[in-house]
């Protein structure tokens, strides 16, 4: 959503900038740059040329006309032209001051690809793109013709020439002489030089008049020179005697036409400036149109006969020009307005588009928001329905949990009475024994210890319920923590001694008193110590250290063992109710540590756990009682050191497990008991050893014992610390050495899956705890009986086993393999038990034990029996001699064969043969 908004705004900005840039482009069409180098602008003819050129240029909106004034300075004109070249103007128009000096610069421009248009005056070699202007030779001729038309007898004529080196001056002079020199009546009196301005002739002309007197005609190359000549003549008072002809014929107030009309000049020859024409021609060139090299403008003689008409014409033209000018400026104004309005329109258009876009976007947004809202509403409805369902389920679960908890709590309460009864009965039995001087029997101690344990477990269950319901009220009393610890410590001493666990209490302050709820702290201690004992191996170490942080307000109590520890990633969970560590294969309810934490927190203390080479719980408690309310503080009697559990020398607690694993010399069947609960092991061992040889293992060395001793029955717990009972059973049942041994699995897991698992691993019987002892003994008996039956079958059907159907039994396969090897080596008298063991891949002793266990005879007897059976059948079926039969059944001599045969069957082979 956010991304699409960004895209949208971005596109608006793009539209805006594109439109603005198109607006600005509209303002700058492709410009045409025209550079005009004007020779000078001090006279009206030049000014008229400039303004007519500018007027014409203004008709082309994209033309940019730049006029540089050389101001009679040839060098400046060259520099101006170079500037146009550098600026790469599209075309250069030039009116040269003089022809020669700028000729090379014009060529340079042409070489640079810039067309050059010369106006009025030409360059020397006529190398230019085009020329625009009147034909100056023709102007000279016209002047001469006009003078000639006035000849009566003779005429004196003077020429006032324009600037030497400028083409109009040279050409006018040439044309003039071409005509005038042909008239013999004409006396040409000479030429006065000028620079086109009247001041330049004043002295020379005055002097000439003074020297020669009046002359009939003067041909001045422009009207300004002509007027200057008239003024000098006028000053001398002879102006009426001299007729003067000029060139240019401007129409302004002081122009040639006015001078003609005033009688100052006899005539003037029209010399159009060519400003407008030059620009039009330049545009044609730029347009690619073909233009002639010389564009000659027409000229005419103006005298008193046509001066008025010409003036009228010119003023009309001027008027029209002004009109055009005003129209052009009006157009420009409108154009300006148009562009600004156009831009405004475009900006408005852009804003309109943006607004339109925003409107569309807001409609779209609104639609999508309302769509999302609808979806949200639907989802919300679904969530509400689901929430209600979850609430219902949660309530049901809560109710069911509540019911279960109530059931367990009720049951726990129910348990308490019988346990108490058992405990008090035991207590009175112990008292009675004491009085009568008897030692307490092992069973009494066992019942007492287990009743205590059961009571604690049930109390834990009840406490859990209470903690959950926040029903605990702490009752803290001033207690010597060392004595308190020591008293509980005594309770575990018996167990510690029994398992050679080093149990130590250390403190840096034996007199330290803390306010604790003794009842709750007792439970914490019991839970932590029971835990430590559960996971600490025999010969291990458990330490309790009370560390008084002397300068601080708190105390640490460490419980450290060197047991299996807790995996790092599980340390955070140990206080969670019902948590069981992944490496914990012991039975545990999972509430003990949770309760301990709750109880410590009721003391406003904390409990932490760390695990490194074992497990360490650290309890932190505050000293003093200021952290308790008044009603939480009670007064309990001072503690005295007591041993809560009598642990006296009279208690017979030697379980006989630590020394020899074989407990009896009984020559009967042997049973391997694999169980890690020492009390149960002790109980079963004591009971069963009356009838059987008992081997015990806590699971860690079970396989070694089984392979070494090949017991007759294996009793195996399922929950064992290393490999579990299923795994052990499977190994035993797949190993040839032990596969025949009946295995009884003992387990607390009574569900169907566990039972199936028990069967799958090959166990012969699956008994769930608590089991009835007589059922167990009866089961052992019937398993042994079955083994006997099987053994009888095997020994009496040696050959049938080879021939009959295989029933996939490991034992049958074993006997078949055994028989196969004996049969293959039947004739080999050297074939020994060692050879056979080697072929079967077992040791000689194992083979012996296996055969003994399975078949009830030694392996050598079995081989011998096999040979004799074979010999007996050969005696029955073949006609071979006794000696032959003896050798081919592997007897080293016929005598030995006869002796063996007689000892087994009571007759010699010969007598047997005869009796057939």
Which parts of this chain interact with ligand FRU (CB under 6 A)?
A: 43, 45-46, 120-121, 162, 166, 168, 196, 222, 224, 247-248, 271
Q: Calculate the alpha carbon distances from 439 to 247, 451, 494, 907 in Å.
A: 167, 20, 17, 63
Residue closer to ligand FRU by CB (options 222, 513) is: 222
Residue closer to ligand FRU by CB (options 246, 742) is: 246
Helix (H/G/I), strand (E/B), else coil: 897: helix
Residue closer to ligand FRU by CB (options 35, 168) is: 168
Question: Nearest distance from residue 246's CB to ligand FRU, in Å?
Answer: 8
Q: Calculate the alpha carbon distances from 33 to 61, 67, 112, 286, 604 in Å.
A: 12, 11, 15, 10, 97
Phi and psi angles of residue 93, each rounded to the nearest 5 degrees, phi first:
-110, 135
Question: Nearest distance from residue 80's CB to ligand FRU, in Å?
Answer: 17
Question: Nearest distance from residue 36's CB to ligand FRU, in Å?
Answer: 15
Question: Nearest distance from residue 346's CB to ligand FRU, in Å?
Answer: 49
Residue closer to ligand FRU by CB (options 255, 581) is: 255
Which residue's Cβ lies closest to ligand FRU?
Answer: 222
Residue 554 zone, left/alpha/beta (φ > 0; ψ -120 to 50; rest): beta
Sequence-separated (6 or more) residues with CB below 8 Å from residue 464: 577, 591, 594, 595
Question: Nearest distance from residue 162's CB to ligand FRU, in Å?
Answer: 6
- Listed as own residue / partner, the contacts of 599-603 with beta carbons closer than 8 Å and 24 or more positions apart are 599/472, 599/517, 599/520, 599/521, 599/523, 599/524, 600/524, 602/472, 602/474, 602/517, 602/520, 603/474, 603/476, 603/516, 603/517, 603/520, 603/521
| Sequence-ordered strand ranges (E) for 23-69 | 32-38, 63-69
Residue closer to ligand FRU by CB (options 103, 460) is: 103
| Alpha carbons 481 and 496: distance in angstroms, whole number | 21
Question: Nearest distance from residue 134's CB to ligand FRU, in Å?
Answer: 9
Residue closer to ligand FRU by CB (options 230, 489) is: 230
Residue closer to ligand FRU by CB (options 45, 128) is: 45
Question: Nearest distance from residue 172's CB to ligand FRU, in Å?
Answer: 8
Sequence-separated (6 or more) residues with CB below 8 Å from residue 128: 106, 110, 116, 117, 118, 122
Residue closer to ligand FRU by CB (options 228, 890) is: 228
Residue closer to ligand FRU by CB (options 264, 619) is: 264
Q: Which two tokens stand for residue 266?
A: 């006899």
Q: Calculate the alpha carbon distances from 758 to 409, 720, 743, 761 in Å.
A: 32, 14, 10, 5
**Element at 246 (helix H, strand E):** strand 243-248
CB atoms within 10 A of CB 148: 17
Residue closer to ligand FRU by CB (options 249, 909) is: 249
Residue closer to ligand FRU by CB (options 43, 491) is: 43
Question: Nearest distance from residue 196's CB to ligand FRU, in Å?
Answer: 4
Q: How far is CA 761 from the centre of its chain?
A: 49
Q: Which two tokens stand for residue 567?
A: 């995996």
Q: Which two tokens stand for residue 276?
A: 């407008």
Residue closer to ligand FRU by CB (options 121, 791) is: 121
Question: Nearest distance from residue 57's CB to ligand FRU, in Å?
Answer: 21
Question: Nearest distance from residue 98's CB to ligand FRU, in Å?
Answer: 10
| Alpha carbons 228 and 245: distance in angstroms, whole number | 12
Question: Nearest distance from residue 171's CB to ligand FRU, in Å?
Answer: 10
CB atoms within 10 A of CB 722: 14
Residue closer to ligand FRU by CB (options 162, 605) is: 162
Question: Nearest distance from residue 116's CB to ligand FRU, in Å?
Answer: 17
Burial bucket for residue 285 (CB in 10 Å: 0-12, 13-18, 19+): middle
Q: Quote the Cα angle for 693-699-702, to 5°.
A: 55
H runs (alpha helix) in 437-542: 442-468, 481-498, 518-535
Question: Nearest distance from residue 334's CB to ligand FRU, in Å?
Answer: 36
């Amino acid at each position: 959503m956010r991304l699409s908004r960004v895209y949208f705004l971005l596109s608006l900005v793009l539209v805006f900038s594109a439109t603005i840039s198109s607006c600005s482009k509209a303002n700058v069409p492709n410009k045409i740059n025209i550079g005009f180098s004007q020779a000078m602008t001090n006279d009206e003819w030049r000014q008229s040329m400039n303004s007519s050129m500018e007027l014409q240029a203004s008709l082309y909106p994209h033309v940019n006309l730049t006029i540089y004034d050389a101001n009679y300075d040839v060098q400046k004109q060259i520099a101006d032209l170079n500037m146009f070249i550098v600026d790469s103007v599209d075309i250069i128009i030039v009116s040269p001051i003089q022809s020669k000096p700028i000729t090379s610069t014009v060529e340079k421009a042409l070489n640079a690809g810039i067309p050059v248009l010369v106006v009025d005056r030409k360059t020397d070699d006529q190398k230019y793109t085009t020329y625009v202007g009147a034909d100056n030779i023709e102007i000279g001729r016209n002047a001469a013709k006009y003078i000639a038309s006035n000849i009566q007898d003779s005429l004196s004529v003077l020429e006032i020439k324009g600037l030497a080196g400028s083409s109009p001056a040279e050409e006018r002079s040439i044309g003039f002489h071409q005509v005038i020199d042909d008239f013999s009546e004409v006396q040409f009196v000479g030429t006065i030089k000028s620079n086109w301005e009247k001041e330049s002739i004043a002295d020379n002309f005055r002097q000439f008049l003074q020297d020669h007197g009046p002359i009939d005609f003067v041909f001045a190359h422009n009207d300004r020179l002509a007027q200057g000549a008239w003024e000098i003549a006028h000053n001398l008072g002879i102006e009426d005697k001299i007729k003067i002809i000029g060139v240019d014929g401007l129409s302004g107030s002081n122009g040639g036409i006015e001078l003609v009309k005033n009688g100052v000049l006899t005539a003037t020859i029209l010399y159009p400036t060519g400003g407008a024409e030059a620009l039009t021609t330049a545009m044609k060139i730029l347009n690619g149109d073909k233009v002639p090299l010389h564009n000659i403008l027409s000229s005419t003689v103006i005298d008193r006969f046509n001066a008025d008409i010409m003036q009228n014409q010119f003023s009309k033209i001027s008027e029209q020009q002004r009109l055009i000018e005003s129209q052009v400026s009006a157009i420009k104004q409108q154009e300006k307005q148009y562009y600004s309005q156009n831009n405004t329109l475009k900006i408005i258009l852009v804003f309109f588009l943006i607004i339109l876009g925003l409107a569309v976007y807001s409609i779209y947004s609104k639609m999508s928001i309302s769509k999302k809202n609808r979806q949200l509403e639907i989802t919300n409805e679904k969530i509400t329905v689901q929430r209600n369902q979850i609430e219902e389920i949660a309530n049901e679960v809560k109710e069911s949990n509540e019911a279960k908890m109530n059931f367990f709590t009720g049951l726990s309460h129910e348990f308490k009475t019988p346990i108490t009864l058992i405990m008090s009965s035991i207590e009175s039995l112990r008292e009675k024994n004491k009085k009568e001087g008897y030692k307490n029997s092992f069973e009494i101690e066992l019942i007492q210890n287990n009743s205590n344990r059961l009571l604690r477990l049930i109390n834990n269950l009840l406490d859990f319920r209470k903690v959950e319901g926040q029903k605990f009220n702490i009752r803290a009393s001033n207690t010597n923590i060392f004595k308190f610890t020591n008293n509980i410590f005594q309770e575990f001493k018996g167990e510690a001694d029994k398992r050679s666990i080093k149990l130590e209490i250390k403190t840096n302050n034996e007199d330290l008193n803390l306010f604790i709820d003794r009842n709750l702290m007792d439970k914490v201690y019991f839970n932590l110590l029971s835990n430590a004992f559960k996971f600490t191996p025999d010969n291990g170490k458990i330490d309790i250290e009370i560390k008084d942080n002397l300068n601080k307000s708190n105390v640490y109590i460490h419980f450290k063992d060197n047991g299996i520890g807790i995996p790092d990633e599980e340390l955070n969970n140990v206080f969670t109710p019902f948590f069981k560590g992944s490496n914990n294969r012991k039975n545990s309810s999972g509430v003990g540590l949770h309760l301990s934490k709750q109880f410590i927190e009721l003391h406003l203390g904390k409990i932490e756990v760390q695990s490194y080479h074992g497990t360490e719980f650290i309890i932190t408690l505050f000293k003093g009682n200021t952290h308790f309310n008044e009603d939480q503080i009670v007064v309990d009697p001072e503690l005295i050191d007591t041993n809560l559990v009598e642990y006296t020398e009279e208690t017979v607690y030697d379980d006989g497990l630590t020394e020899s694993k074989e407990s009896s010399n009984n020559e009967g069947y042997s049973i391997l008991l694999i169980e890690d609960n020492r009390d149960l092991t002790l109980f079963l061992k004591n009971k069963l050893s009356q009838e059987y040889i008992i081997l015990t293992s806590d699971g860690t060395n079970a396989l070694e014992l089984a392979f070494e001793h090949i017991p007759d029955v294996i009793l195996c717990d399922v929950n064992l610390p290393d490999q579990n009972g299923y795994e052990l059973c499977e190994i035993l049942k797949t190993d040839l050495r032990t596969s025949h041994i009946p295995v009884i699995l003992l387990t607390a897991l009574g569900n169907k899956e566990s039972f199936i698992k028990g069967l799958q691993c090959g166990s012969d019987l699956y008994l769930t705890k608590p089991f009835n002892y007589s059922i167990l003994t009866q089961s052992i008996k019937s398993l042994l009986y079955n083994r006997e039956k099987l053994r009888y079958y095997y020994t009496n059907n040696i050959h049938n086993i080879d021939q009959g159907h295989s029933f996939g039994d490991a034992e049958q396969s074993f006997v078949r393999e055994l028989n196969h090897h004996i049969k293959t080596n039947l004739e080999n008298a050297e074939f020994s038990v060692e050879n056979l063991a080697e072929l079967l891949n077992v040791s000689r002793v194992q083979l012996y034990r296996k055969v003994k266990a399975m078949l009830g005879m030694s392996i050598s007897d079995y081989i011998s029996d096999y040979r004799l059976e074979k010999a007996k059948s050969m005696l029955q079926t073949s006609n071979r001699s006794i000696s032959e039969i003896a050798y081919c059944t592997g007897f080293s001599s016929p005598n030995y064969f006869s002796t063996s045969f007689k000892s087994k069957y009571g007759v010699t082979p010969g007598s047997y043969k005869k009796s057939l």
